Structure 1
Amino acid sequence: MPHHTTEGPDTAPPLLLGPSLGTSTALWDAVAPELSAAHRVVRWDLPGHGRSPADLIGPGATVAELAGLVLALADSLGVDRFAYAGVSLGGAVGLHLAAHHPQRVTRLAAICTSAHFGGAGPWRQRAATVRREGLAALAESAPQRWFTPGFTVPALVADLRAADPGAYAACCDALAAYDLREAMASIVAPTLVIAGREDPATPPAHAREIADAVPDAWLMELAGASHLAPAERPAAVTAALRAHFAAPARAEGGGMAVRRAVLGDAHVDRAQADATPFTARFQDFISRYAWGEIWTDPTLSRRERSLITLTALVAHGHLDELASHIRAARRNGLTPEEIGAALLQTAVYCGVPAANSAFAVAQRVLAEEE
């Protein structure tokens, strides 16, 4: 099983992040924390990279094998359907999953990747060189291939130095055999394609080829970005991914999926069961508008929305709603300490008596959780 890390609420929609050849989960360090506010983010390492065992693949490996490892990982986590974003080889894995396992991938982001990587010859040559000489020479030249001039991330170059040469070479074999051009038109998952305008490894023409072939795909080209865009332009990549992966909620029953993810199935089921012909239109209204329009807007994360909601409920003395939204804040990743800090802030701006009542409600709810 590949090594992986998880971030974000267990009840949030799952989002898998795939790495580039030669890097580890660290490629996503500047992006994943923000995405984890609204998703259960799972980062995984390629075989022989980061903390993944080298013997997960061998000579003659394929992208399909790597995709199989990702599916096995998802199964082990109890994840049936997931959104996916990947860079370079990790992006190729995502494209393969979307084309050959469409029932598993809800939305896809293909970043600095390709439907083919320039033919088998150069990759077979690189694999042979690495098996013979190791990775030191490739690590020396990595910044020129990965980043724009004058920019580097030493930790990612160190990842390449530390990778297992045999597993790295097997990944090169997978890239040599990879050509997904004939299958691109079969991808049905909503797809965002991101290119770095200064990427020498997968130039923007490769991204345009994907966007032209995948039905209704969106293309974004980032200025000032090379091959490892999440490391070089993290704010732009984060904003694009947040908007792309937040989009499905607007179409899922007027936000009912988000309402359930934030408030919990038990709360929503009670509200639905208590609905009458008189209140049914109101229940539909809050599902469509509050949860289907406001809570799905990617401008603010769910953590940020929880903090704002707690403050508003304290200000107006809505203590029953406050209890529900303290539970929601925990689902959205807020710690008890952060909730306490938010309530303390309300003592200054909403009044000490209001904050006193809010602390009593929060203490009861948090004690029930424990």
Structure 2
Amino acid sequence: MLSDHLPAYEASGPDGAPVVVLGSSLGTDRHTWDEQVRLLERRYRVVRYELPGHGGSATRAPGATIPVEPATTGAGGRTIADLGSGVLRLMDHLGVPAAHHVGLSVGGMVATWLAVHHPERVNRLALVCSSAHLPPAEKWLTRAAIVREQGMGAIWESVVAGWFTPAWHDPQRLARIRETFLAVEPEGYAQCCEAIASTDLRPGLGDITAPVLAVAGAEDRSTPPEMSEELVAAVRAAGGDARLEVVDGAAHLSAVQQSATVTALLLEHLDADRAGHAAGMRVRREVLGDAHVDRAQLGTTTLTVDFQDFITRYAWGDVWARPGLDRRTRSAITLALLAALGHDGEFAMHVRAALRNGLTVDEIREVLLHLGVYAGIPVSNHAYGIAQRVLTEEGLG
């Protein structure tokens, strides 16, 4: 019988906030998520757990252990169910009835198992470079045998070759990742390999009720985008809510290589349950366009994360989404106010937004003419110049 020890873990973020559970990939530890946690912990209680034998050099919460005892589940060794049960014990220990679950690679397989078998414990599900099934089993069993006999160093070169694209170059980060990898207990790593080898979650994907975000690295050879497509299609076929985002310039450890993009995708997915956020994000994208909103999301920092959330919920969710005025009218009002107040950057952005909202060039001209009467000729003249530049760029000048 497997130990009832808790996985090693670290919790951060405000007490009482919605909980996000993060699971890492095979051969890494909780620090894989450092860039994402910097922003997530601003408004979520973030719990990062370690796989068996992983994170041995990490500072662990009192009483937390990394179980690496031999598995006794039969010839197949440890299973995804064993790993998932450890996460459930951790949630019970922390008094968390349900949480958002985010998993990278095998961490995603664990999160998927939870969503299939314990849907009441999963609010939203985000799977990064993961799959419901990773054949052939022989590959994983062979790898388990090698690390048991020769140690972690014997497979480092072959494993890291699939983690990043050839263009990625960060020697310091790579050195830390290598140090973490070599510190993993071979027995714990081998047991996780056995868990992957025996896993096929495809038959249960239709039972997932949590909204699913699947993130795939465009150049990921370990879990290529086709695997995420298969998972998303299965959830959708059963009437579930699932979407796929493919991240360019990323291989398997996309959360490290393209951390800003992955963070933005996770924030948008997890924040959808926050009051007003989903409606606000929908309106914001419809008015400003995906390209602009994506740039804003990618530029989010620990300084601006709360402001981005505020304008999405308040400006776009509470005001722009109100039924009292149509969007064409709101655009006309916004253009006049921004020009009168001298907010040139915002004014240019909203000229484009006005076009998306259905204002014609003639109507924009009338707004700016009206502006000259009530805000002054110099103000109107300056606004005409900015509008002309934008319209020319849009092919309407």
TM-score using structure 1 length: 0.68
Rounded to whole Å, the distance in 1 between the matches of 2:39 and 2:249 is 22
**CA shift in 2, pair 1:308/1:168, >3 Å:** closer
Tell me the alpha carbon deviations over residues 85-113 of structure 1, each in whole angstroms, 9 at most, x when there is no partner: 00000000000000000000000001101
Counterpart CA distance in 1 for 2:189 and 2:120 is 30
**1:301: Cα distance to partner?**
8.3
1:10 aligned partner: 15
Matches within 5 A, 1:101-120: 101-120=118-137
> 36, 48, 54: which one pairs with 1:49?
54
Aligned to 1:217: 242
Shift of 1:168: 0.5
2:44 pairs with 1:39: yes
Matched, 1:24 2:29: yes
- Choose the corresponding residue for 1:148, options 165, 190, 195: 165
Give per-residue Cα distances to partners, 1:35-78, cap 9 Å, x unaligned: 11111011111010003524266260000000000011111111
CA deviation after TM superposition for structure 1 residue 124, in Å: 1.1
Distance 1:302 1:154 in 2: 26
Give the AA of the match of 1:84.
Answer: H
Work out the CA distance in 2 between the residues paired with 1:30 and 1:306: 16
Highest CA radius of gyration, 1 or 2? 2
Greater RCO, CA 8 A, separation 6+: 1
Question: Equivalent residue for 2:253?
Answer: 228
SS of the residue 2:95 aligns to: coil
The CA distance in 2 between the partners of 1:127 and 1:228, in whole Å, is 21
Q: For residue 100 of structure 2, what is the aligned residue in structure 1?
A: 83
AA partner of residue 101 (structure 1): H
- 2:187 counterpart of 1:170: no
Q: CA-to-partner distance for each residue in 1:153-172, whole Å, 9 max, x for gaps?
A: 32222211110001100001
Q: What SS does structure 2 have at the residue aligned with 1:99?
A: helix
List alignment gaps of at least 5 residues for structure 2. 1-5, 57-64, 281-295, 310-397
Retained in 1: the 8 A contact 2:109–2:130?
A: yes
- CA shift, 1:303, in A, is 7.5
Paired with 2:163 and 2:301, the residues of 1 have a C-alpha distance of 30
Alignment of 1:266-281 (within 5 A): none
Question: Structure 2 CA distance, aligned partners of 1:39 and 1:128?
Answer: 39
TM-score calculated relative to the size of structure 2: 0.63
In 1, the alpha carbon distance for the partners of 2:27 and 2:305 equals 37
Aligned to 1:264: none
Deviation of 1:30 after TM superposition, in Å, equals: 1.2
2:127 is paired with a residue of what secondary structure?
A: strand
Give the Cα separation in 1 of the matches to 2:306 and 2:128.
Answer: 30
The alignment status of 1:249 with 2:274, answered yes or no, reads yes
Separation of aligned partners in 2, 1:80 and 1:20: 24
Seq. identity, %: 41
Match of 1:364 in 2: none
SS in 2 for 1:171: helix
Q: Which residue of 1 aligns with 2:200?
A: 179
* 3-state SS of paired residue (1:16): strand
> Residue type of the partner of 1:4?
Y
**Paired letter, 1:236:** T
In 1, Cα distance between equivalents of 2:159 and 2:117: 32
Paired residue for 1:157, among 178, 182, 190?
178
Distance 1:218 1:305, change over 3 A: closer
Does structure 1 retain, via aligned residues, the 8 Å contact 2:50–2:66? no
Describe the SS at the equivalent of 1:142.
Answer: helix
Q: In 2 relative to 1, CA 206–47 (structure 1 residues): closer, same or farther, beyond 3 Å? A: same
- Equivalent position amino acid for 2:149 in 1: R
